[in-house]
A and B are shown apart, each in its own frame.
Chain A
Amino acid sequence: MLEVNHISLTFNEGTPDEKKALQHIQLKLNKGDFVTVIGSNGAGKSTLMNIISGALFPDVGKVTINEKNVTLLQEFKRSNYIGRVFQDPMAGTSPTMTIEENLAMAYSRNKKRTLKLGVNKNRRAFFKSALATLHLGLEQRLNAKVGLLSGGERQALSLLMATFTEPDILLLDEHTAALDPSRAALITNLTKEVVEKTGLTTLMVTHNMQQALDLGNRLIMMDKGQIILDISGAEKQALTIEKLLHEFQRIRGEQMGDDRAILG
């Protein structure tokens, strides 16, 4: 489904600011995999997401989606197959457009955009039923401008917009991090529901270790631009925060007092 082969990316190469953001990343996802990604600040998680989505291009390496080499395919073309939700609730929607207009815009993801009306009767009905799955009552507010919604509502809408056309891959980059705990829990639940229902192949970055353990069938840990831990199946089910920290220490052989705070 998704294959990331020997990807490396260095920012500002040859300057004092040189930063090896990714080093020889090797990752293969099967259809339906739900992978949670953890790692300290600057580990390269977002950079990896950006390489998969095409927002950044790697120095070396190859990205394949459905057996197709997309390494150099521009972001807007690749997003036919990829849905994304960003950390910032402002980032995933268009604030001056209404809820139904935002949905219509997202609905055109894998179709050619034409000179037909974006919202028509059939679509409106479809949007309503899709919104109802969020249990936020947004289906009553189709004509409200999205700029008026709360962060949590917006993030729920972003999640719906990213997934309701059923792309091949879903990329979530700390999409609950900017929300208060109860809203974050709500979005986490919605994420779980959507992924279960659609069987989307998903990569989810999170700083919340518990969330990383609870969700998904596979967990990877990144550090200094490398994947240092990759656990799936029954082994992942048996994982606890303590074990995870222990693993990290064993691999890196260094104290991670600070990281613990960040990761937990």
Chain B
Amino acid sequence: MFISIFNAMESGVIYAIMALGVYLSFRVLDFPDLTVDGSFVTGAAVAAISIVNGVPTILATLFALIAGFVAGSLTGILNTKGRINPLLSGILMMTALYSINLRIMGQSNIPLLNQSTVFTQLRESWSDLGVDQALTNMLVSIGIERPPSTWSILIIMTIVTFLIKLGIDFYLKTEMGLALRATGDNEKMIRSFSANTDHLKIVGLGLSNALVALAGALYAQYAGFSDLNMGIGMIVVGLASVIIGESIVGTKSITRTTLAVVLGAVVYRIVVAFALRSQFLDTGDMKLITSGLVIIALVIPKLLANHKEIQRKRKKRLALEKQMEGEHYARS
């Protein structure tokens, strides 16, 4: 039990980077970008093929990030210069990426199990710190039977993801970031304040997909393989994280919303892990669970708000009726 939650959290903080990318396109730019399904794999593919060919792992991961940026920018160019509608631009790019990813990998699956990755390297330098030993002892002492073999991934990835979150928070408050947000909010207006909305969209989608590809690259190294189909439904996972997070944590400010997105990604993974433990569901049902979660997260808040509204009206009506009755008595 503990170990499956632990693993869910590990993959959750990696997926959170992807979710932050989805947040940038869907929420900040108001651009429903479906490139994500492709660019996640592009990230994994570029990292995997680079690592297999002996490129240092950090550099391989960086290449993936750049490849994602290029893919996202192309979607932006299709939309702004080619005047293709946002959904279609993303779908076209996602479809094209499927073939491109296959070209990059040369085969539909690249195993990384025997390769040294950022995480294996991390683990080597980490083991000297003695953190694992201390935490494992603690867990054993409170009665957990199968403690995780290393905490390095969870701890370091949490730090990395938070640094990225903070970076996004800052970026969205810079002069460029403000213009980017305004582009998603009110394009006509920001153009009248001499911002090149085409460029902003291209850069914004580039950044978004750079993050998605980075998550793909890290996930491939974490899971030990890159697979042509590992991106299917990724956009819905990203959306699920964004929506779940927003409905739990709220969207009062930028810093709060990005925190919501990160937590949303982790919560999503944990919920899926729990769901998969039940007898009726297996791994093939994952996409169904994801869609179900998104639907629930979208519908429940509305139902609650509706219910509240009805209650409020009823209360008001009752109060009014009582008052009128009172007046009636007073008169008679």
A: which residues have CB within 8 A of B?
53, 75-80, 82-84, 86, 90-97, 101, 104-106, 108-111, 113-119, 161-162
Contact = CB atoms under 8 A, between A and B. Distances in A.
Q: Please list the 7 inter-chain residue pairs (A to B) with the smallest Cβ-Cβ separation, ordered nearest first.
A: A113-B175, A94-B185, A79-B194, A118-B178, A105-B178, A94-B182, A84-B192
B314 interface: no
B176 A115 contact: yes
Nearest to B30: A96
A211 to B, nearest CB: 23
Contacts of B178: 97, 101, 104-105, 108, 113, 118
Contact of A104 (B175, B185, B189): B175
B99 interface: no
B127 to A, nearest CB: 38
Contact of A75 (B175, B177, B186, B192): B192
A117 B174 contact: yes
26 contacts: A53-B192, A76-B191, A76-B194, A77-B194, A78-B194, A79-B193, A79-B194, A84-B192, A94-B185, A96-B181, A101-B173, A105-B179, A108-B178, A108-B179, A108-B193, A108-B194, A110-B194, A111-B175, A114-B175, A115-B171, A116-B174, A117-B170, A117-B173, A118-B177, A119-B173, A162-B192
B190 A105 contact: yes
Contacts, number: 90
Given A79-B193, A117-B173, 20 more contacts: A76-B191, A76-B195, A79-B191, A79-B192, A91-B189, A97-B181, A101-B181, A105-B182, A105-B193, A108-B178, A108-B193, A108-B194, A108-B195, A111-B175, A113-B176, A113-B178, A114-B174, A114-B176, A117-B175, A118-B178
Given A76-B196, A105-B182, A109-B193, A91 B174 contact: no
A108 B179 CA distance: 9
B150 interface: no
B291 interface: no
B120 interface: no
A79 B196 CA distance: 10
Chain B, interface size category, equals: 20 to 34
Contacts of B181: 94, 96-97, 101
Nearest to A97: B181
Contacts of A110: 194
Contacts of B195: 76, 105, 108, 113
Nearest to A115: B174
A116 B185 contact: no
Nearest to B198: A76
A233 B65 CA distance: 63
B192 A93 contact: no
B247 interface: no
Contacts of B197: 76
B188 interface: yes
A84 B188 CA distance: 11
A31 to B, nearest CB: 21
Contacts of B193: 79, 105-106, 108-109, 161
Contacts of B179: 105, 108, 113
Contact of A91 (B171, B175, B182, B188): B188
